[in-house]
A and B are shown apart, each in its own frame.
Chain A
Amino acid sequence: MAEVRDETVEAWDGRLRLHVKVAGDGPPLLFFHPLPGLAWSPLLDRLAAQYTVYAPEHPGTSPGDPQAIREVQTFWELLLVYEEVIGRLGVDGAAAVGQSFGGMVAADLAASFPRLFSRLVLLAPLGLWRDDAPIPLVEMVSGPPEDMPGYLYARARPDDPPPDPAAIAQGTWNVGCTTKFAWPIADHGLARRLHRIRVPALVVWGRQDALVPVAYAEDFGRGIAGSQVVVIDDCGHAMAAEQPGRTWTAISEFLAEPRTVSASREIAAGPERIFELIADPARQPGWDGNDNLAVAADGQRVRQVGDVFSMLLTRGEVRENHVVEFEEGRRMAWTPSEVGRRPPGHLWRWELEPCGASATWVTCTYDWTQLTDPGRFGRARATTADRLRSSLDRLAALAEEPPESGSD
């Protein structure tokens, strides 16, 4: 188990001292806990093996500080508190994982502050409501304790030992603190804000979820552009407990998904000859391995950073490509945009390195780390190293052709 330390973060003009559990090392990752409060779980251990996990405790749920919940009056205030805490921790731009109630919090943070997270994982989040799939939150929270597992698990589980009165009291209070912002229906209008989430998002659901039915997976998937949805079979609401392996696979594959792909090869030609095929946009459709580029006008040879060249795509649209890196004969990178618009953030880069007298090591990179248009995530994902290799091979074929023999 990871070594977990407790950090206290002052927020909300000094009225709150929020406890944040921190463990692991690696890039930062925020975890937002479900209704009963933060319990350090095997899922968090697995995350801590690869990330520095920051898991804030919802106000009022930290033992010894029950009144902290009084300082946060509305759900909007809760979001502002977390935005402050994330800033104080210096982990803006981290990936965020939210489970159930924490999923609602993470999703609304991502919608309210579109640059707060770089990636978003939602594990059966609350936050939406549809009349044909009511969420029995009130029934679960106010019902007999022995009914609780039925809401959380697809299959019966061995009975846990009964908690002592202090633990029951803390657990009950914790649910009071979280349900303050989920009562009686956990709907603060998130459905109307989902479109503002513009980072890659993963939505994971247990097919047998008896608390938040799996029908909501589709709604989140549709509402968050470019998001991926994974539904796990034989799995209830507490997916990380019931299907830890599959839940972890879905999360870790998503979080580890490369957003920079590249391919390299040697081409039996000098860098100047190859560079000409790249820096003159009119030549690019000749080697494009994506069947993406149709035609570019002559006379657009790139000479410096800041140049913009225009390209007609095979789909019929025109792209303006903004050159952001340029070194004659060696390196060139550009970011495409629609005509007159700001580039959405993805980038193409070519790098040439002479090797020997008449050969060049050529590297092509597609980088969508900064891509902010979720509508393009699908195509970005489809731009694999194989596609780049295809371009490289065609580029090599062109560059290695013997010069046309003159008619003379």
Chain B
Amino acid sequence: MKVSLFEQVPYRYLPEGFGDQHSSVVTAPYDVVDPHLMTESLFSAYAELLHAARAGFDGVCVTEHGQSAYDISPNPDLLASAVAYATRAEGLDVAITVLGRSLGKTREPLRIAEEYALLDCVSGGRLIAGFPVGLSYDANLNAALPGVETRERYREHRDLILKAWSEPRPFPWNGRFEKYGQVNIWPRPVQQPHPPVWVPGTGSPGTLRDILAHDFAFVYLSWDGPKLVGRQVFDRYWELAEETGRDRNPYRLAFLQVVAVSETDERAEREYAAHLQSHYRSGVGAIPATALAVPGYAEPAAIEGMLRAAGHGGMLSRMHTATYRELVDSQVAIVGSPATVADQIEAFVREFRIGNLLVMLQNGSMPRDLTEKNISLFAGEVLPRLRPIWDDEGWVNHWWPRAQGAAGEQA
């Protein structure tokens, strides 16, 4: 299997109790920020991505969020571009996943087509193109697009980008949201007709069908770990795959897991507990529920489903107050010695047929030295146990870059 470092870009110095008073998005007050510590937070994220590439991860992964304190990444292509160059210069054959520019949020989809194409060229064909809809607060509040149009925009933008990458001649585009006379982007992706496409989602049947119909990979990006609501999403995905005539190739499925590794279980708790809690309390747990479903973003049946499920299962409504013990017991975060962590991950990866694993190793206030230790330990002692998991079944990972001699300049 393939394992990537998933890195968000939080401001690491939010004051104690920030999430009790403020939203972490849209209206998060900027006056809590010390400019020097912001600079340091951003620089650390770049450094940690490179550290992971050097430590032997198969890939690195970044996301887009605007007006956010927990992921200061208004355009992840900027971050990915630096990593693409640096890894090529060092000859590191690492996939670069942008997960991604939000297609339901953008007002300029061709810019995404161009940026992704450029990243694919600069990296020597190592791009995985994420096609997320975008979270409601980002699309409907930050970009201020009507909730009810979000998915319609997404579909049009996806189709436009795919066509812009593969159509050899200039073409006109008369969409509902976008109109162009001559689309003819430079450059085009090295990987033709297009880089592998990963679509993150929360697992609604409509989204899953759409992913399977396009033969994209599904990324289950929850903050819930594998236990809480994972099973129903994964089971649904594989059932739908069978229903739509797709094979059971585990590489069709990617999953994000928060992980913290230290020498022993006890030491892991001592080192990471406070940082993990800060991530949930002042980061993702401090996104108001209403900002994740601005009216129109989700259809009535989906809203009703979310409301009925709120009482049981998901961690979302409880994240803000979750204790370290609850996070660990529910596997929202997997924490411990390399053996503990590898055992837990291997079990659910096999059970749910996950072929592409994303691990989030930096959380909230976690400083760079501790994050780099987490990365090194994971890469050195956990990753080798995970990598061969699907080898015996002989599947090809069609959703991994077809790098053009990705070893780069030094190869």
Query: Contacting chain B: which of A9-17, A26-34, A102-110, A161-169?
Result: A161-169
Query: Contacting chain A: which of B31-39, B141-149, B362-370, B398-406?
Result: B141-149
Which chain B residues (271-306) contact chain A, with CB distance < 8 Å? 288, 290-291, 293-301, 303-304
Which single member of A169, A175, A177 contacts B304 (CB below 8 Å)? A169
Which chain B residues (291-323) contact chain A, with CB distance < 8 Å? 291, 293-301, 303-304, 307-308
Is there an interface contact between B301 and A179, defined as CB atoms closer than 8 Å?
no
| Chain B 138-158 per-residue mask, 1 if CB under 8 angstroms from chain A, else 0 | 001100111111001000000
CA distance A141 to B148 in the complex (A): 13
Is there an interface contact between A184 and B297, defined as CB atoms closer than 8 Å?
no
Is there an interface contact between A169 and B176, defined as CB atoms closer than 8 Å?
no
CA distance A181 to B320 in the complex (A): 34
Is there an interface contact between A141 and B176, defined as CB atoms closer than 8 Å?
no
Which chain A residues (170-188) contact chain B, with CB distance < 8 Å? 170, 172-177, 179-181, 183-184
Is there an interface contact between A179 and B303, defined as CB atoms closer than 8 Å?
no
Known contacts A138-B141, A165-B307; A176 and B297 CB within 8 A of each other: yes
Is there an interface contact between B290 and A142, defined as CB atoms closer than 8 Å?
yes
Q: Which chain A positions have C-beta within 8 A of B298? A: 172
Is there an interface contact between B300 and A142, defined as CB atoms closer than 8 Å?
no
Query: Contacting chain B: which of A66-74, A224-232, A276-284, A359-367?
Result: A66-74
Is there an interface contact between B290 and A180, defined as CB atoms closer than 8 Å?
no
CA distance A175 to B294 in the complex (A): 9
User: Does residue A144 face the partner (Cβ distance < 8 Å to B)?
Assistant: yes
User: Does residue A145 face the partner (Cβ distance < 8 Å to B)?
Assistant: yes
Is there an interface contact between B141 and A180, defined as CB atoms closer than 8 Å?
no
Which chain A residues (184-213) contact chain B, with CB distance < 8 Å? 184
Instruction: Indicate the size class of the contact surface on chain A.
Output: 20 to 34
User: Does residue A143 face the partner (Cβ distance < 8 Å to B)?
Assistant: yes
Is there an interface contact between A169 and B301, defined as CB atoms closer than 8 Å?
yes
Is there an interface contact between B141 and A175, defined as CB atoms closer than 8 Å?
no
Which single member of B144, B290, B291, B299 contacts A173 (CB below 8 Å)? B299
Is there an interface contact between B144 and A138, defined as CB atoms closer than 8 Å?
yes
Q: Which chain B positions have C-beta within 8 A of A141? A: 294-295
Is there an interface contact between B303 and A169, defined as CB atoms closer than 8 Å?
yes
Known contacts A180-B146, A180-B148; A145 and B308 CB within 8 A of each other: no
CA distance A173 to B297 in the complex (A): 8
Which single member of B141, B144, B300 contacts A170 (CB below 8 Å)? B300
Known contacts A166-B304, A168-B303; A179 and B147 CB within 8 A of each other: yes
Known contacts A73-B176, A142-B140, A145-B290; A66 and B299 CB within 8 A of each other: yes
The residue in chain A whose Cβ has the minimal distance to the Cβ of B310 is A165
Q: Which chain A positions have C-beta within 8 A of B147? A: 176, 179-180, 183
Is there an interface contact between A168 and B307, defined as CB atoms closer than 8 Å?
yes
Q: Which chain A positions have C-beta within 8 A of B291? A: 142
Known contacts A142-B140, A165-B308; A183 and B146 CB within 8 A of each other: yes
Q: Which chain B positions have C-beta within 8 A of A168? A: 303-304, 307
Is there an interface contact between A175 and B296, defined as CB atoms closer than 8 Å?
yes
Q: Which chain B positions have C-beta within 8 A of A174? A: 295
Which chain A residues (275-305) contact chain B, with CB distance < 8 Å? none
Q: Which chain B positions have C-beta within 8 A of A145? A: 290
Which single member of B137, B146, B288 contacts A179 (CB below 8 Å)? B146
Q: Which of B145, B149, B288, B300 has the most CB of A within 10 A?
A: B300
Q: Which chain A positions have C-beta within 8 A of B300? A: 66, 169-170, 172-173
CA distance A179 to B140 in the complex (A): 11
Q: Which chain B positions have C-beta within 8 A of A66? A: 299-300
Known contacts A165-B304, A175-B295; A184 and B176 CB within 8 A of each other: no
CA distance A73 to B293 in the complex (A): 21
| Chain B 313-336 per-residue mask, 1 if CB under 8 angstroms from chain A, else 0 | 000000000000000000000000
Is there an interface contact between B296 and A176, defined as CB atoms closer than 8 Å?
yes
| Chain B 116-154 per-residue mask, 1 if CB under 8 angstroms from chain A, else 0 | 000000000000000000000100110011111100100
Which single member of B137, B148, B290, B304 contacts A69 (CB below 8 Å)? B148
Known contacts A142-B291, A165-B308; A176 and B148 CB within 8 A of each other: yes
Is there an interface contact between A176 and B295, defined as CB atoms closer than 8 Å?
yes
Q: Which chain A positions have C-beta within 8 A of B299? A: 66, 173
Q: Which chain B positions have C-beta within 8 A of A181? A: 146
Q: Which chain A positions have C-beta within 8 A of B288? A: 143-144
Q: Which chain A positions have C-beta within 8 A of B303? A: 165, 168-169, 172-173
CA distance A175 to B300 in the complex (A): 11
CA distance A283 to B208 in the complex (A): 87
Is there an interface contact between A183 and B144, defined as CB atoms closer than 8 Å?
yes
CA distance A172 to B306 in the complex (A): 13
CA distance A272 to B146 in the complex (A): 71
Is there an interface contact between B148 and A172, defined as CB atoms closer than 8 Å?
no
For the complex formed, measure the closest distance between the CB of A27 and the CB atoms of chain B, giving whole angstroms.
35
For the complex formed, measure the closest distance between the CB of B142 and the CB atoms of chain A, giving whole angstroms.
10
| Chain A 78-102 per-residue mask, 1 if CB under 8 angstroms from chain B, else 0 | 0000000000000000000000000
The residue in chain B whose Cβ has the minimal distance to the Cβ of A168 is B307
CA distance A177 to B226 in the complex (A): 35
CA distance A272 to B323 in the complex (A): 101
Which single member of B148, B149, B307 contacts A169 (CB below 8 Å)? B307
Closest 5 interchain pairs by CB? Answer: A176-B296, A176-B295, A175-B295, A169-B304, A165-B307
A168-B304, A174-B295 given; 8 more Cβ-contact pairs under 8 Å: A142-B291, A143-B290, A165-B304, A168-B303, A176-B295, A177-B296, A179-B146, A179-B148
7 contacts between A and B (CB under 8 A): A141-B294, A142-B137, A168-B303, A169-B303, A176-B147, A179-B147, A179-B296
